[in-house]
Homo-oligomer: A and B are copies of this chain.
Amino acid sequence: MDKETFRKFGHEFVDWVVDYLDSVEDYPVRAQIKPGETLNRLPDSAPLVGESMEHIFKDFREIILPGMTHWQHPSWFAYFPANNSPPSILAELLTAGMGAQCMIWETSPAAAELEEKVLEWLRQMLGLPEGMNGVIQDTASTTTLVALLTAREKATGFKSNRKGFQEKLFVYVSEEAHSSVEKGAKIAGYGTDNIRRIPADENFAMIPAHLEAAIVADKKRNLKPACVVATVGTTSSSGIDPLKPIGEICRSYGLYLHVDAAYAGTAAILPEKKWMLEGVEHVDSFNFNPHKWMLTNFDCSVHFVKDPGSLIRTFEIHPEYLKTDVDALVKNYRDWGIQLGRRFRALKLWFVIRSYGIEGLQKVVRKHIHLAELFKGWIEEHELFEIVAPVHLSLVCFRLNDSRSEEELNILNRELIERINQTGKVLLTQTTLKGKFVLRMAIGSRTTEERHVHQAWEIIVSMAKDILGKNNVNI
């Protein structure tokens, strides 16, 4: 592709992206296709001769786009948000254009130093302890795994790396923790049988007394507790594990403490939400995802550690072809995680934080929290619905409850969410809390306004009435 064709399509694609984000509301939130539909529209083999960008772009719009679920839709209330934003997209364009591979300082010094600085900004913004060092990982799954590996190495005197993981170590998490802890425990070799699932209280927060009891019981049996993963903002209900007592327990018994605040961490930039992190001074590592609620394109997961030495000792390698003269003076982030190769992810974070400013980001987060409060109020006032978990932030867990048996309610609510999502106008996801099938309304898309939340509410009520009408006749 010659320079001017590249420029022409670059401009055309920018216009497309700007217009897409401006009109994304007009698309159904969820792709309206069946398994195999896209697959069947694609040729079975690669073309021998190059095709024109006109043709490729046309196919993108006609074949790919109708099969996409629109994560940037203002009526996206599913999972957690994965926001992008204009400054973030602009930075991603520069990143793609430069095509730098940021594995070590020498291969892109400014990228390494910008990463160091921007993460120091974030540390301050969240109020994490002075001296914690940050690194950008791809996802919270990876960060949890990295923490579990660091804990494993610390617990075995950094011997597993060398001699193989031969010990049986135990990991403690709330029963509400994310599945990535289970996945990480598999990968790191702990094994899922060696995860202790600590009961959560009625607010879906880990009960510290149960944690301590479990650790004490294991120690009595000569088992080896190694690591606690606490969650600030659980996936199911945004439950908040109390870091202070958990941290004190970890200190007393010598356990590594990792905090997964993937979604909720962003809210710690608000003074009124800093309470969530009380006790964070006891933490060994802390993670949150700017790619969720901080308007930064996926992927960008931020990992803070108290002791970079342990992290580096877990991962470092020193082949001749990667040595450089400045190794002793700089941060080589390849030794701070799993992958050798690294994208320049600090750039988009820098663009976003500078473009919005701290106050601009606070405003966005406060807007979502306000909308969740509003939605919560509507639920509470309505006789057919109930709130199922505290609304700490922007996630509202609720269900239809007209006083039938739990089993019937689960069936009804399962039907309800399917009917809501089939409209294509909104997208919610579900979870299970203490055996109850629950709908999750996760508010947090950059462009979500009150009217979108209100429209969702109207759809929810109307579908609920439909289902109840039908079921009352049937039963």
The list of the 6 closest CB pairs from A to B, nearest first, reads: A67-B110, A164-B191, A17-B97, A10-B14, A165-B189, A189-B189
Task: From the candidates B31, B50, B110, B183, name the one contacting A64 in the complex (CB within 8 A).
Answer: B110
Known pairs A7-B14, A69-B107, A70-B98; list 7 more (Cβ under 8 Å): A10-B90, A38-B110, A149-B187, A163-B194, A166-B166, A187-B315, A321-B429
The minimal Cβ–Cβ distance linking A68 to chain B, given in whole angstroms, is 5
Interface status of A179 (Cβ within 8 A of chain B): yes
Interface status of A130 (Cβ within 8 A of chain B): no
Task: From the candidates B93, B98, B125, B430, name the one contacting A71 in the complex (CB within 8 A).
Answer: B98
- Residues in B whose Cβ lies below 8 Å from that of A193: 162-164
A194 to B, closest residue via Cβ: B164
Q: Is the CB of B354 within 8 A of A33?
A: no
Binary contact track A134-153/B, C-beta < 8 Å → 1, others 0: 00001111100100010000
What separation, in Å, do the CA atoms of A358 and B49 have in the docked complex? 6
Q: Is the CB of B64 within 8 A of A84?
A: no
The minimal Cβ–Cβ distance linking A61 to chain B, given in whole angstroms, is 10
Interface segment among A213-221, A239-247, A302-310, A337-345: the answer is A337-345
What separation, in Å, do the CA atoms of A255 and B154 have in the docked complex? 31
Interface status of A111 (Cβ within 8 A of chain B): yes
Interface segment among A18-26, A400-408, A452-460: the answer is A18-26
A341 to B, closest residue via Cβ: B139
Interface status of A39 (Cβ within 8 A of chain B): yes
Q: Is the CB of B68 within 8 A of A100?
A: yes
What separation, in Å, do the CA atoms of A189 and B1 have in the docked complex? 46
Q: Is the CB of B18 within 8 A of A10?
A: yes
Q: Is the CB of A297 within 8 A of B96?
A: yes
- Residues in B whose Cβ lies below 8 Å from that of A315: 183, 186-187
A64 to B, closest residue via Cβ: B110
What separation, in Å, do the CA atoms of A16 and B30 have in the docked complex? 35
The minimal Cβ–Cβ distance linking A324 to chain B, given in whole angstroms, is 9
Given the known inter-chain contacts A109-B33, A160-B189, A191-B161, please indicate yes or no for A116 contacting B69, CB distance below 8 A: no
Interface residues on A, range: 35 or more
Given the known inter-chain contacts A64-B110, A297-B99, please indicate yes or no for A124 contacting B35, CB distance below 8 A: no
Query: In chain A between 284 and 339, which residues have their CB closer than 8 angstroms to a CB of chain B?
Result: 291, 297-299, 314-315, 317-322, 325-326, 329-330, 338-339
Interface status of A231 (Cβ within 8 A of chain B): no
- Residues in B whose Cβ lies below 8 Å from that of A390: none
Q: Is the CB of A99 within 8 A of B298?
A: yes
What separation, in Å, do the CA atoms of A66 and B89 have in the docked complex? 22
Interface status of A48 (Cβ within 8 A of chain B): yes
- Residues in B whose Cβ lies below 8 Å from that of A17: 10, 93-94, 96-97
Q: Is the CB of B87 within 8 A of A359?
A: no
Given the known inter-chain contacts A46-B358, A101-B298, A124-B45, please indicate yes or no for A39 contacting B113, CB distance below 8 A: yes
Copies of this chain in its oligomeric complex: 2
A350 to B, closest residue via Cβ: B56
Task: From the candidates B86, B109, B353, name the one contacting A6 in the complex (CB within 8 A).
Answer: B86
Binary contact track A55-91/B, C-beta < 8 Å → 1, others 0: 1100010011111111110000001001111111110
Given the known inter-chain contacts A7-B14, A21-B97, A35-B330, please indicate yes or no for A106 contacting B69, CB distance below 8 A: yes
A433 to B, closest residue via Cβ: B320
Task: From the candidates B16, B164, B339, name the one contacting A139 in the complex (CB within 8 A).
Answer: B339
Binary contact track A221-253/B, C-beta < 8 Å → 1, others 0: 000000000000001100000000000000000
The minimal Cβ–Cβ distance linking A197 to chain B, given in whole angstroms, is 13
A335 to B, closest residue via Cβ: B183
What separation, in Å, do the CA atoms of A60 and B190 have in the docked complex? 44
Interface status of A381 (Cβ within 8 A of chain B): no
Q: Is the CB of A338 within 8 A of B113?
A: no
A192 to B, closest residue via Cβ: B162
Identify 30 residue pairs between A and B in the complex whose beta-carbon atoms are under 8 Å apart, listed by A's number. A7-B14, A10-B17, A11-B11, A13-B93, A14-B14, A16-B94, A35-B109, A36-B113, A38-B110, A39-B116, A42-B114, A45-B124, A49-B359, A56-B351, A67-B111, A70-B98, A71-B99, A71-B101, A72-B98, A82-B99, A138-B339, A142-B339, A160-B191, A161-B191, A161-B192, A163-B191, A164-B189, A179-B340, A187-B338, A325-B418
Interface status of A347 (Cβ within 8 A of chain B): yes
